[in-house]
Copies of this chain bind each other. A is one copy, B any other.
Amino acid sequence: MNDEPRWLTAEEQLVWRSYIEAATLLEDHLDRQLQRDAGMPHVYYGLLVKLAESPRRRLRMTELAKYAKITRSRLSHAVARLEKNGWVRREDCPSDKRGQFAILTDEGYEVLHRTAPGHVNAVRQAVFDRLTPEQQKSLGEIMRIVAEGLQPSEAGADLPWLR
């Protein structure tokens, strides 16, 4: 046991600062882009995408929350809003009476269809067009590692002191 904090080195600090800045600017940028062109924030857009990719364009609330990495509470509010927009509707789960499906409506699909090109373009412009293929690959690997480390996934993962 060593309580002495291991501060970040100068290089690490620079890396971390770059990360925070880029992540902040990027999320802001995409939020504004989508708010303007699609009338919803980035997270909500992501929800529609997940639904569109799913069989029968539907997912159980908990599933959707898991895929989107958000809490069920947040999802509950979000779907309520999307429902009000007519882009998502709900349906009761027959096998589990607690359950709800969130279902992408045709109208929701339309919005996605209409706004996806602009969004992809924004992502390209901000990220992929600026990186070499090696950097893209590298970014993927790095973020995959970070994401895995933060998943409340595997058994025992939440009991790190046992490992």
Residues of A within 8 A of B (CB): 5-8, 11-12, 14-16, 18-29, 46, 68-70, 116-117, 120-121, 123-128, 130-131, 135-147, 149-151
Contacts and interface: CB of A to CB of B under 8 A. Distances in A.
Q: Which of A29, A116, A121, A139 has the most CB of B within 10 A?
A: A139
Nearest to A146: B22
B146 A130 contact: yes
Nearest to A3: B117
Helix, strand, loop or mixed for chain A's interface?
A: helix
Contacts of A14: 140
B123 A145 contact: no
Contacts of A26: 146, 150
B20 A23 contact: no
Given A21-B69, A23-B23, 15 more contacts: A11-B136, A15-B143, A16-B127, A18-B143, A21-B143, A22-B144, A22-B146, A23-B27, A24-B68, A25-B146, A125-B149, A131-B145, A135-B141, A135-B142, A135-B145
